[in-house]
Structure 1
Amino acid sequence: MRVTQGCFSFLPDLTDEQITRQVQYCLEKGFAVNIEFTDDPHPRNTYWEMWGLPMFDLADAAGVMRELADCRRVYGDRYIRISGFDASHGWESVRISFIVNRPANEPGFRLDRQESVGRNLRYATRSYAAQRPEGDRYQSG
């Protein structure tokens, strides 16, 4: 199963050249660019770990790509995403967010269905990866 979150998630993985073009677009729009990573991509897990601080006042995507390369070296077995934040309205709003790195194996999610009072149904999404301890979720074996 392929996790589909953010822009471009239904497309094949972006190449570094395509990522660079998207980052450059963000910088030209004046967005602050941020790199985040996680090993729990549950749809309600919106707070991923930050790789450094958001990058303000950059003019060239090369700086972001260097940080992405460093993040991939350390957390290449996890999900990594880039987000662009727009502050033109006086507060930071996410304008673009896309996954730039995935683990080799994406175990997917299980949908649990529970019947309750009055024949109501309740659903819960559980990540198969989250059954393993944090930091050990995408190791083989």
Structure 2
Amino acid sequence: MRITQGTFSYLPDLTDEEITAQIAYALDNGWSCAVEFTDDPHPRNSYWEMWGLPMFDLTDPAGVLHEINECRKAYPDHYIRLNAYDSRYGRQTTALSFIVQRPSSEPGFRLDRQETSDRRVRVSLHPYAADRPAGERYRS
């Protein structure tokens, strides 16, 4: 199972050179970059933990890649994504978002089915990783 969230999620993982090219594209457009991480990539979990503050003042892609690598060192078994924000609209608008690191093993999700009154069926999504405690979900 491969989590598919954000831009490029159906492609093979990007190399650092490809990530740097995307960061340069974002910075050339005047977008601020931010790094986030989580061990719960559920599709409804849109609020990942932020690694530091958004990098409003950086103009060099190497600075953003440095922060990504520092987050990778601190959280080697987590999902890490890069977000680029376009501030032209006067509010936080995500212009680009993509995963830059995944755990070595992605256990996937299952659908839980529940029958209710009048023969209605409710379905919910359950991540297998959530069966383990937070912080230990993707450790081998």
So what's the TM-score if we normalise by structure 2?
Answer: 0.97
Mapped to 2, the partners of 1:34 and 1:117 lie a distance apart of 45
The CA distance in 2 between the partners of 1:21 and 1:76, in whole Å, is: 23
The separation in 1 between residues aligned to 2:139 and 2:90, in whole angstroms, is 42
How many angstroms does 1:119 deviate by?
Answer: 2.0
* Alpha-carbon distance between aligned partners in 2 of 1:124 and 1:104, rounded to the nearest angstrom: 25
Aligned to 2:62: 62
Name the counterpart of 1:133: 133
Residue number in structure 1 paired with 2:101: 101
Q: Which residue in 2 is equivalent to 1:3?
A: 3
Q: Runs ≥4 in structure 1, deviation > 4 angstroms?
A: none
Count of aligned residue pairs for this structure pair: 140
Q: TM-score normalised to the size of structure 1?
A: 0.97
Which residue matches 1:32? 32
User: Which secondary structure state, in structure 1, belongs to the residue aligned with residue 63 of structure 2?
Assistant: helix
Could you tell me which runs of 5 or more consecutive residues in structure 2 were left unpaired when the two chains were aligned. none
In 2, the alpha carbon distance for the partners of 1:139 and 1:76 equals 9
Q: 5+ unaligned residues in a row in structure 1: which ranges? A: none
Compute the RMSD of aligned alpha carbons: 0.8
User: How big is the shift at 1:135?
Assistant: 0.9
Percent of matched pairs sharing the same residue: 59
How many Å apart are 1:48 and its aligned residue? 0.4
User: Is the partner of 1:37 in helix, strand or coil?
Assistant: strand
